[in-house]
Structure 1
Amino acid sequence: MRRPAARFTLLVVGAATAALAAVLLVPDRDGLAAAFESAGELNPLLAVAATWVLILAMVPRTALAFVCGLLFGLGPGVGYALVGALLGASTAFAIGRFLGREFIDGVLAREHPGWRGALASRVAGLDRWLGRNGIIGVVAVRFLPVAPYGMVSYAFGTSATRYRDFLFGSAVGVLPSTLGYAALGAAVFGPSAVPVSIAILSGLGLLSLVVTIGLHRVRKNEPRPSPGPSRPDNLNMVRR
């Protein structure tokens, strides 16, 4: 148990260090503008790479989407912000899975007395649910505006959520807000520079689609009662 505990400690310390580095080392607006101006044709790659790294440092994703919209407009800004955010989320998920999953498994498998046992039982139930309904869980958390994008990505890596569910749920869950914040950033260039209403309507339409798919998956995964004996069998039993 010592090695999983050591890796989990490294995960916590590393995430906290990355967040502190983001606060102290992220360049200001003038520094970012100078970096993009000097990059020239490599600006798209720089935008994706910067978003990727800053997501790992738990910089707010919405702020990154706003900056991408400000610098590149709605369409390219959404694309660069979304690709960078998914790369950052995938990397954080992989780090969380490698450093934290074995430790969480060990903690949930042990017996705990009193209230700790009850808490561990509830967490284990949630963990099993995420293993079966990862897409719904990821989308629900991604829609919460107060859930830190990077920290949540590390946390999902330590859970039973499958990577494909995490990736799809992350893409669907962050697209509406990415559209919205990139539209706000693009609107800085002028009131007619970007159709903000289209971005909002697209986000609402995507949200309704996700809710419909989620409800369908929940109903599909619900245990069904075993069918009783057929009517002809009952008649044969009576005759006997």
Structure 2
Amino acid sequence: MLTMLLMPILPALAQATAAESGPGLVAQIQGALVNALAWVDSLGLIAPIAFIGLYVIVTVAFIPASVVTLGAGVVFGVVKGSLYVFIGAMLGATAAFLVGRYVARDWVSKKVASNEKFKVIDEAIAREGRKIIFLIRLSPAFPFNLLNYALGLTKVSLKDYVLGTTGIIPGTIMYVYLGSLAGNLATLGTGETPSNPTITWTIRIVAFIATVAVTVYVTRIARQALQASVPDVTDDNGEAMSA
């Protein structure tokens, strides 16, 4: 349900990049990211700072960050790589959220101004934002980069948004670990993602559970918000009854 409710704004936000996307462009972007990671790897002590900066840019620019996340495992290892990805993702997600709320809000709001479903989900997130966003972040079914901007339109507080976004931690660790199995950046450039059956199935199971949980939870909250918004009317005997 959440995907359906957010659909009115996702195409609008993605329009600029989707128009030019294609297999060739994707390959070029992946190649550029691998080259950027190689450059980061050569920086020595300041490599972590450069990597975090790269991750922020990728997140804000709607660029899929999977190659960068995997690359963190190659360049820094699982522990440090997970930490740097988490910091970069949190900073990038927060920046995109603020842009969506304060800079591009008017433009994006026009896309959903007449959509009653979005108003309902907005109210639901305002009431239970932290929990809902946490579940969303656990599930890859919801696009990370686009939602950063979309959630800026909702009534969720910055604090709850940031706390909810910590739900990326399990997926971050798993993908960085998969990257560490590659051994070198050249492997990432071929488009062949290293795999581990146990980790892969763990990711799928966690993603499935999170997707089901967020769908059920948001449906319940949205229904409660909708019922609460329906005014009582009075019957012929003067007794109140729900519409």
Cα-to-partner distance string for 1:38-63 (whole Å, 9 max, x where unaligned): 31211101111101100111222333
Map 1:192-207 to 2 at 5 A.
Answer: none
Match of 1:183 in 2: 177
Return the offset for 1:16: 2.6
Superposition deviation, residue 165 in structure 1: 1.1
**Which stretch of structure 1 is more off in the superposition, 23-32 or 139-148?**
23-32
Tell me what 1:160 maps to: 155
> What number of residue pairs does the alignment pair up?
185
- Say what the alpha-carbon RMSD is for the aligned residues: 3.9
* Separation in 1, partners of 2:32, 2:110: 43
Distance, in Å, in 2 between the alignment partners of 1:48 and 1:136 is 26
Per-residue CA deviations over 1:106-149 (Å, capped at 9, x if unaligned) read: 7877xxxxxxx6xx333212111111111122123223323221
Which whole-Å CA distance do the structure 2 matches of 1:50 and 1:168 have between them?
A: 22
Residue 68 of structure 1 deviates from its aligned partner by 0.6
Q: Which amino acid aligns with 2:138?
A: F
Instruction: Describe the shift of the 1:169–1:13 C-alpha distance in structure 2 as closer, same or farther (beyond 3 A).
Output: closer
Q: Note if contact 1:44-1:80 (Cα within 8 Å) is conserved in structure 2.
A: yes
Instruction: Describe the shift of the 1:105–1:154 C-alpha distance in structure 2 as closer, same or farther (beyond 3 A).
Output: closer
Task: Quote how far apart the aligned CAs of 1:32 are.
Answer: 2.7
Is the aligned partner of 1:79 residue 2:74?
no
The structure 1 residue matched to 2:119, chosen from 119, 124, 138, is: 124
Kept in 1: contact 2:59–2:89 (CA 8 A): yes
User: How is 1:102-113 mapped onto 2 (pairs within 5 angstroms)?
Assistant: 102=106
Closer, same or farther in 2 for the Cα pair 1:186/1:38, shift >3 Å? closer
Aligned-partner residue type, residue 16 of structure 1: A
TM-score (norm 1): 0.62
Residues 27-176 of structure 1: pairs in structure 2 closer than 5 A: 27-28=31-32, 31-102=35-106, 120-172=115-167, 174-176=168-170
Q: Which amino acid aligns with 2:95?
A: T
Q: Which amino acid aligns with 1:188?
A: A
Given the superposition, is the C-alpha separation of residues 69 and 144 from structure 1 closer, same or farther in structure 2, using an over 3 Å criterion? same
Q: Output the CA distance in 1 between the equivalents of 2:84 and 2:62.
A: 17
Structure 1, 35-44 or 100-109: larger mean CA deviation = 100-109
Q: Which residue of 1 is the match for residue 235 of structure 2?
A: none
Deviations 1:202-232 (A, max 9, x none): x96xx99xx7xxx8xx99xx89xxxxxxxxx
Maintained 8 Å contact 1:18/1:57: no
Q: Distance in 1 between matches of 2:52 and 2:19?
A: 19
Task: Identify if the C-alpha distance between structure 1 residues 37 and 103 changes in structure 2 by more than 3 Å, giving closer, same or farther.
Answer: closer
CA distance in 2, matches of 1:124, 1:154: 16
